[in-house]
Chains A and B, each alone.
Chain A
Amino acid sequence: KAGVTQTPRYLIKTRGQQVTLSCSPISGHRSVSWYQQTPGQGLQFLFEYFSETQRNKGNFPGRFSGRQFSNSRSEMNVSTLELGDSALYLCASSTGTVTDTQYFGPGTRLTVL
């Protein structure tokens, strides 16, 4: 079974631009969560989508948004990029049951110049 895939793996943007990251979950998984990893803050939860609806949300500004499609693929968008948005963005998928294990993708490394 293929794992969680994230595209692109690396991305360089400049301040003020916007960016869209994509996550394809494991086949059959209906939940996708997004996390931001930075050296200073560690891994922080952004949001979780289940069956095309945002089910959980972390404490990030509205510039960070996401969506999920009917095939469970998810996209994350960051508008008006800031230098501090430079991070590794990880997505994780699971079946959607609250006790089910999350499987992480390799991440997208975003650099904001």
Chain B
Amino acid sequence: DQQVKQNSPSLSVQEGRISILNCDYTNSMFDYFLWYKKYPAEGPTFLISISSIKDKNEDGRFTVFLNKSAKHLSLHIVPSQPGDSAVYFCAASVGGSNYKLTFGKGTLLTVNP
């Protein structure tokens, strides 16, 4: 049973436009959510996180939105750059922890020049 779902395996956007990556979860015990980015032949790199007590967190071009009632979160990248092309993983945990993360299967983002 996939507790964290990223229903779009891939997304293609034009440089300069907004990229929106979506993630749904089923486990209501999750209270901490993270986004990781992964380039080929490298390990995932932490991007941004959000606690369930918030509904938005921003870091530069990256903003994560959390809708607890819908059990949905999204990552917005504005403006998108070709260097953002990578696989993006959504992850969740219980107890506000960075450990024992449950990951989605990832979304491949391609930003076209």
The interface residues of chain A, by DSSP majority, are classed as: strand
Question: Chain B interface: which of A41-49, A64-72, A75-83?
Answer: A41-49
| B96 beta carbon closer than 8 Å to chain A | yes
Q: Which of B32-79 contact A (CB under 8 A)?
A: 36, 41-46
Q: What interface size band does chain B fall in?
A: 20 to 34
Complex Cα distance, B43 from A4, in Å, reads 9
Q: Which residues of A contact B105 (CB under 8 A)?
A: 41-42
Complexed CA–CA distance, A92 and B102 (Å):
14
Write the residues of chain B forming the contact surface with A, with a CB cutoff of 8 angstroms: 2, 36, 41-46, 89, 91, 95-106
Chain A residues engaging chain B, CB cutoff 8 angstroms: 4, 31, 33, 35, 41-45, 48, 55-56, 58, 90, 92, 94, 98-107
